[in-house]
Amino acid sequence: MPLAPADHHTLRDIARQAIRERLGAGGPPRLPGEGPLADPVGAFVTISLGGELRGSVGSFTPGGSLAQAVAQVAAGATEDPRFAQVRPEEIDRLDVRVSVLGPRRPLADPSELQIGRDGAVVQLGWRRGALLPRAAVEAGWDAVTFLERTCLKAGLPPRSWQDPAATVEIFTVDEGGEAAPPTPA
């Protein structure tokens, strides 16, 4: 079930506060102890600055609540080694997007994957890659291309999703609207 807009707002606030704490600009976020944000649900946090991606980190299997998962992955997104590290003076200009992950389910055929609704995970051996639904929408990919790009993200050849030993799963995402706008300075 999708979260209420107020819950998404709270998650974005938690993510922002976790980023502030990680960068030494504030204390830890206050995490709710009950309600839907206390459920053990996975999440991704994506941060950007001026349209430039600065970090995207997630967890499908959190060790605690959704609120804890958001705080943890938001802090980690500030140090995503694929991008320039976030600096304290950039905090108030960051766009923060929180993606709440639905359960993963096996994908038997690419025709089951709905672009814009489903994200994908491909695992073969110790390599695993995941892409959120918006990646396919933004790039204009079809289902097969989306699966191939998920393989590439895992460091696998593009058609690895067809390997009988590969695990291919899809999942839905609840983003509750667009990224939170930067906080005015």
Q: Does the reported pTM lie above 0.85?
A: yes
Q: How far is CA 136 from the centre of its chain?
A: 14
Q: How far is CA 18 from CA 12, 72, 125, 133, 175, in A?
A: 10, 7, 33, 25, 18
Task: Enumerate residue ranges in the chain where pLDDT < 70.
Answer: 1, 177-185
pLDDT computed for residue 177 by the predictor:
58
pLDDT computed for residue 61 by the predictor:
86
Helical ranges in the chain per DSSP H:
5-22, 66-77, 133-139, 143-153
Which tokens go with 74? 């938001």
Radius of gyration of the chain (CA): 17
pLDDT computed for residue 33 by the predictor:
86
pLDDT computed for residue 1 by the predictor:
58
Cβ-contact 62, 41 below 8 angstroms: yes
pLDDT computed for residue 65 by the predictor:
94
